[in-house]
A and B are shown apart, each in its own frame.
Chain A
Amino acid sequence: MNVPAPIKSICILGGGTAGWMTAAALAFKFQNSDIDITLVESEQIGTVGVGEATLPHIRFFNQTIGIDEAEFMRATNATFKLGIEFCDWGRLGDHYIHPFGEFGQPVDGVDFHHVWNRLRRAGSNTPLDDFSYPIVAARNGKFHHPATDLFKIESTFGYAYQFDSILYAKFLRKFAEERGIIRIEGKVVDTTQDANTGHVTSLTLESGETVSAELFIDCSGFRGLLIEQCLETGYQDWSEWLPCNRAVAVPSATVGAIPPYTRATARTAGWQWRIPLQHRTGNGHVYCSEFISDNEATAQLLSHVEGDLLADPKQLYFKTGRRNLFWNKNVISIGLSAGFLEPLESTSIHFIQEGITALLELFPDTSFAQSDKDEYNEKMALNFERVRDFLLLHYVATERDDSAMWRHFRSLTLPGSLQDKINAWTHRGHVPSYEFSVFLPPSWIAVFAGQRILPNAEDPRLGRTSEDGLRGDTQQLRSAIDAAVSRAPGHMDYVKSIGALAGTAG
């Protein structure tokens, strides 16, 4: 076996969520090695830091590098998240929650949503939401960790966090610096490339200092300072499918109890998020500039913010899509430099995590084998494409036609892969499944059912069980869920009980 020289120096450019998550993961992985890891960031350049809601996978990230949950929650003003509530998507006035967990339990090998659909078609008007423990808990403002006894209904969910991502970056910075990461303050003014390979060899900072490394991780945000400005990797524009291209964000004081879920409300030219943290609520309006002006978008956002504003609205510009190559030469782009899909399903931080995981699986040596890059690029491209289809579903699974944007989506020709999924679902409640994606069938079912795309039939195998029998079983399930939720602690009481309240000693 050939052992090419290992990488001895890594430079991470950019200190936002992506930069410090990458730094923390590498610091942990290489804590006993002699690899030099530096992170270059400039206080003059702000970070976007709006990706404040996460997916359950973040827990695995934190656990792997040994982060204590309560300590992390105190440091980032984090709250628990059981899912996302979508309002006004199928029709004005509609609402449903996309939970982290499955609906009900299979009956004779047939997934529960078929049971629900059969009873629905027989006249039942109980929403699918009522058969999900995390949804009912979320609506009642309850939270606890999943029970370890897998036979208990209280075990049937996953959870994530809502946190201040700037504080999370700060928390990870401390973690990474304690494990030997060197942070260099400075603004990059120039890059040097190897004349033969085109590899980036060093960065020159405003101070004149140069930072050399064998491997560069570009976490410089939308600009893609290395991956794009230096290497000109190119970008696939997905505006055709996901045309929203701007956002305006503003924090506000929280009104009332802090809910254990994120909210995404459809508007006339986009949608608005509400992310409740311990000390404030994050709000933002993601919109398409073709259908609304910036001023109108801000006005629309502010008219729907519940509490007092805590800062001036902040404007963001983006183009949905992904980099042609996520890994080009000796530069790997992670975070917004790799691509951006609107944060409708809290995937921004998740893509960072996927990038880090793939990087560790395919970590290069100084030979920078083309096959490593090819595999990394294939994996990340698949991640992005599958999420794109799922996000697009939210816009097309609708009866709305009350504005130009909704009429645009209603006349859109969908990607074949998405159209096939919709057809299989409406025909018989079937969700064609794949193994490798962040959103698996239960997520698709939640959005379909929540946005009025309903199956015309169900799995015929259910025909073996009588409708009365199914009705009895589902009633029992509902009662079990309701009883368990009524026993469950309130969200913030629980946060406090585990020592996760910010400003306390823990």
Chain B
Amino acid sequence: MDGAPLTSVALCGSGLALWMSAAAFSKSLPNSVQMTVVDTDPNPASDMFYGHVLPPQFYDFHLSIDLSEPELLLNTGSTFVFGTQMQNWAQPGRSWVQAFHQPLPVWEGVPLMKLIQQHPHATLQSTLISAQAAKTGVFAHPSEDPEHPLSRAEYGYAINPAELSRLYKAVAMRRNLQLISAQIETVTRKDDTVTSLTLTDGQRVEADLFIDCTGPSAVLRAKGLAPANKSRSVTAKLSRNADTPLGAPVQRVSGSDAGWRSDVVLRSGALRLTVADTSSELDGNAASFQIGRAEKAWHGNTIAIGHAASILEPFTVAPMKLLLRDIERVQSLLPVSSDMRIEAQEYNRAARNDYDHASLFNQAHFAVPDLPDTPYWQTAAVKNDAPKLVRKLTQYNGRGYLVEYDNEPFDAVDWAVLHDGMGRTPHRADPLAAAIDPETVQSCLDTLRKNIKAVVERMPPHPIYMSKFIAYLHRKYSRNG
């Protein structure tokens, strides 16, 4: 082993990226490594650009940091979501539920997707129980019985990043760590290595490894590092409404000429994120964000995560997925010594792939010919010619074939639902799908839809399920102390 063993890690920054990584590290860092957290801002405004929905993958992440679902619900105003209701996306009437769902069934050796590509567009949606429940406004936890239609559903949470950060902070503080609340004044370097940070309270922080969670400003990034691979900018604004009653278990994203807005309702009130092109004047606390990624997220002994590494628009859960992947990637490549070149190379390779693949998914939301002739949509469409996206679209548009790359953050179901929602129709029928008797397909489809409908009809409205579940948790946890 070259270099001295790792003895100290400093996490610097604020909000969700800081406390989520601190919570993860508090569980995984060996005791021999000293952990320092420098909290530069208790409530960073830029956290709104992670969006307000945790995808289903966060369930396992929470288990890994010993955070149970009851704890999450009792300590934050979080609610359940089955996906995102896209409304009037790029065109009036283009609406669908981007539902969280298990892999789609295969009938007679042919994926359901291919069998129904010849059917009207609502067909795929009608076979997704999570989409139907979201539309109807009902919720129940997915069944563990694999035969039950509800076992196919997956769910995430609508969250407030500030509340979630506080909870992650509480988890992180279960471990012995040094917490400093101050701003970073100067970053001292020797070659590629950050040697220390000087803080506004006069303290100096030294560490073998620095995790940069400082958001879009990426305070620890070396000047003169290769320029970030960035494209357009957008403006975003967050507004709250404490009185909105709880509704359907779904995020709503609505398109408009100027851009889009996202609405979620938590038990602690509603959050509305409005995003537009930079020429639009959004009043209040608007901030601007430049879409793109750092050329190298890991440079020397500094790893930029979350917004410090990459920014995508949160009309999908891409930013949350990338933040989670960043944290998992840092954990799996926690350097063994002060010589971090090999870890950095592998980290940057994987980070680049994850960003590129997540950004394909977002970009595919702009790859239609009928975009509004407004700055937001026209600027966004510029990157529709990314070769990996062209391959995906060519194959889907050709015969409904879903191209998959290694370890994509969005899986085949996500893509199938998106293509269908965007109104893409394969030019040719898949020959093997076309060879299956249409009546057989129709009868299987009818049965599937009937079963889904029957289950959805019996599911309680989300607000009722939630209030009963919370009451149950209160009883359970007060009884158990």
Interface residues of A (CB under 8 A from B): 1-4, 6-7, 29-30, 33, 64, 108-109, 360-365, 367, 369, 371-372, 375, 378, 420, 423-424, 427-428, 430, 432-436, 456-464
Chain B residues closer than 8 Å to A3, beta-carbon distance: 428-429, 434
Q: How many angstroms between the C-alpha atoms of A464 and B431 in the bound complex?
A: 55
Please give, as numbers and ranges, the residues of chain A lying within 8 Å of B30 by CB-CB distance: 460-464
- The secondary structure that dominates the A interface is loop
Report Cα–Cα, A378/B401, bound state, in Å.
14
For B336, list chain A residues within 8 Å (CB): 427-428, 457-458, 460
Given contacts A363-B432, A460-B334, whether A1 and B31 have CB atoms under 8 Å apart is no
- Contacting pair A29 B395 (CB below 8 A): no
Q: Are A2 and B28 interface neighbours, CB within 8 A?
A: no
For residue B480, CB closer than 8 A to chain A, the reply is no
Interface residue? B333 (CB, 8 A): yes
With contacts A3-B428, A363-B431 known, is A459 near B332, CB below 8 A? Answer: yes
* Also in contact, A365 and B431, with CB within 8 A (given A420-B345, A433-B407): yes
Given A456-B1, A457-B1, the answer on whether A375 and B432 have CB atoms closer than 8 Å is no
Residue from the set B118, B399, B401, B430 with the largest chain A CB neighbour count within 10 Å: B399
Contact B28 A109 (CB under 8 A): yes
CB-based contact A1/B425 at 8 Å = yes
Min CB–CB distance B100 → chain A (angstroms):
20
Check B32 for interface membership: any CB of A closer than 8 A: yes
* Interchain CA distance A427-B338 in the complex, whole Å: 12
Residue of A nearest to B28 (CB): A461
Q: B404 in the interface, Cβ–Cβ < 8 Å?
A: yes
With an 8 A cutoff between CB atoms, is B257 at the interface?
no
Q: Does B370 contact A (CB under 8 A)?
A: no
Query: B343 in the interface, Cβ–Cβ < 8 Å?
Result: yes
Q: Which residues of B contact A432 (CB under 8 A)?
A: 346, 349-350
Contact A436 B346 (CB under 8 A): no
- Contacts known (A363-B431, A363-B432, A428-B336); A371 close to B33, Cβ less than 8 A: no
Contact B426 A1 (CB under 8 A): yes
Q: A1 contacts B428, CB within 8 Å?
A: yes
A88 to B127, CA, bound (A): 56
- Other 15 A-B pairs with CB < 8 A, given A436-B404, A456-B1, A460-B6: A6-B431, A30-B435, A362-B401, A363-B432, A371-B399, A424-B342, A427-B343, A428-B342, A458-B336, A460-B30, A460-B334, A461-B28, A461-B331, A463-B32, A464-B28
Interface CB pairs A-B, < 8 A, 13:
A109-B331, A360-B109, A371-B398, A375-B395, A427-B336, A427-B342, A427-B343, A432-B350, A457-B1, A459-B334, A461-B28, A464-B29, A464-B31
**B residues within 8 A CB of A367?**
428
A22 to chain B, nearest CB (A): 15
Distance in angstroms from B399 CB to nearest chain A CB is 7
Tell me if B151 is interfacial: C-beta within 8 Å of chain A. no
Residues of B within 8 A of A (CB): 1, 6, 28-33, 64, 109, 117-118, 331-337, 342-343, 345-346, 349-350, 391, 394-395, 398-399, 401, 403-404, 406-407, 425-432, 434-435
By beta carbon, the residue of chain A nearest B64 is A109
Whole-angstrom distance between the alpha carbons of A231 and B11 in the complex? 61
Residues in chain A near residue B345, CB distance under 8 A: 420
The answer to whether B407 touches A457 (Cβ under 8 A) is no
**Contact in complex: A371, B395 (CB < 8 Å):** yes
**Contact status A369-B398, CB under 8 Å:** yes
| CA A258 to CA B279, docked complex, whole Å | 77
Tell me the complex Cα distance, A459–B401, Å: 39
Inter-subunit contact B28/A360 (CB<8 Å): no
Given A2-B427, A6-B435, A369:B399 Cβ within 8 A: yes
Verify B425–A430 contact, CB threshold 8 A: no
* Docked-complex contact B429 and A29, CB < 8 angstroms: no
- Report whether A1 and B427 are in contact in the complex, using a CB–CB cutoff of 8 Å: yes
Neighbouring B residues of A435 by C-beta, 8 Å? 404, 406-407
Q: Quick one: closest A residue to B400, CB to CB?
A: A1
Roughly how many angstroms separate A365 CA and B398 CA in the complex, as a whole number? 12
Q: How far apart sit A424 and B399, CA to CA, in the bound complex (Å)?
A: 40
How far, in angstroms, from A434 to B357 measured CA to CA in the complex?
14
A378 to B349, CA, bound (A): 21
CA A108 to CA B6, docked complex, whole Å: 20
Closest Cβ of chain A to B116, distance in Å, is 11
- Please give, as numbers and ranges, the residues of chain A lying within 8 Å of B428 by CB-CB distance: 1-4, 365, 367, 369
Q: Is the CB of A372 within 8 A of B425?
A: no
Bound-complex Cα distance A360 to B1 (A) = 49
Asked whether B427 lies within 8 Å of A457 as measured between CB atoms, the reply is no
Query: Are A7 and B431 touching (Cβ within 8 A)?
Result: yes
Contacts of B64 in A (CB 8 A): 109
With both beta carbons as reference points, the residue of chain B lying nearest to A7 in the complex is identified as B431
Contact B406 A1 (CB under 8 A): no
Closest B residue, CB atoms, query A435: B406
Q: State whether A29 touches B432 (Cβ < 8 A).
A: yes
Asked if B334 contacts A434 (CB within 8 A), the reply is no
